[in-house]
Amino acid sequence: MSTKFDRRAFLAHAALGIGALALPGCSTVNSSKKPLFKISLAEWSFNKALFGKKLDHLDFPKTARQEFGIEAIELVNQFFMDKAKDRAYLAEFKQRADGEGVRILLIMCDDEGALGDPDEAKRRQAVENHYKWAEAAKFFGCHSIRVNAEARGAGSFEEQQERAADGLRRLSGFGAKLGLNVIVENHGGLSSNGAWLAGVMRIVNLPNCGTLPDFGNFELGGGKEYDRYKGVAEMMPFAKAVSAKSHDFDAAGNETHTDYRRMLKIVLDAGYHGHLGIEYEGEKLSEPDGVRATKRLLERVRDEFAAS
């Protein structure tokens, strides 16, 4: 075989290479353009399977990656409530997530007391109850823990803001030492009043304390509901994560309770380009099918916005 340099052959191959770069679908220019937002999967989407022991918490990263092609997840402490300080268990979970190429974004923390409790001692205890979850989140490499700004007991609108802000300020101080955000979801009661929660954020006034706007949690109690679009708009200036809540879909694949185009415009107009966590809570579709339907809708609307 001859190794003699053939200039004409070289030029011919070079021309073919240049031509290939110009062909549709072959260009490498702008191929890595960032999407308008990324998609993650909230573990609560599989609450029935997890509570029913049909899905093991340790297998959630594998499910997210292999079944849905999702590379970022949001955990719920209820599914490993007694494991917050079990480093062997946490290490096993992290190893499985790393093995799937899945990033753990945050831990949603429930049932640890009211951060806005009117009793100062109980409020302090609630704050301290969250420390173990913050430490677990740090171990996982999360950016945040999600908490509830519960303001139980009597008190005016403003008094309950002050109590919630006190608990959040204390917990955020602990989180700051770990490089973690403490973020609040609209989760019923006063926390689902967008103006109330935005006011709490302004009182706390710490860079690592923010919100996690959820598209669907706007029940105020007593049969009253806060306007979801107004509420999300009020919370977005403080948002460090967003929950794409879904329940039901029409024949065209649109969510029937939330106008996703309108909601996503609010999110993007606020300058948010992070993860939107799929959180399916419907009854008509199975949990896997509900997740797929939500993912398709998010991707479709994202593509429409990107093309406009």
Cα(79)–Cα(197) distance, integer angstroms:
27
Q: Domain limits of the chain? A: 38-307
Q: Give mean pLDDT, residues 191-216.
A: 97
Buried b (16+ CB within 10 A) or exposed e, 104-133: bbbbbbeebbbbbbeeeebbbebbebbbeb
Cα(117)–Cα(96) distance, integer angstroms:
37
| Of the candidate ranges 33-37, 245-249, 293-297, the one whose mean pLDDT is the lowest | 33-37
The pLDDT tens digits of the residues spanning 141-179 come to: 999 999 998 766 678 999 999 999 999 999 999 999 999
∠ at Cα 83 (68, 114), nearest 5°? 95
Task: Tell me the pLDDT of the chain averaged across its residues.
Answer: 90
Q: Give mean pLDDT, residues 249-253.
A: 98
Fold classified for 38-307: TIM Barrel (3.20.20)
What percent of the chain has a predicted confidence (pLDDT) above 70?
89
The pLDDT tens digits of the residues spanning 258-269 come to: 999 999 999 999
Please give the pLDDT value at position 74: 98
Cα(29)–Cα(26) distance, integer angstroms:
9
Please give the pLDDT value at position 1: 42
List 3's β-bridge partners, or say none: none
Contact between 302 and 35 under an 8 Å Cβ cutoff? The reply is yes
Please give the pLDDT value at position 146: 98
The pLDDT tens digits of the residues spanning 276-295 come to: 999 999 999 999 999 999 99
Measuring CA to CA, which residue among 32, 84, 30, 27 is closest to residue 57?
Answer: 84
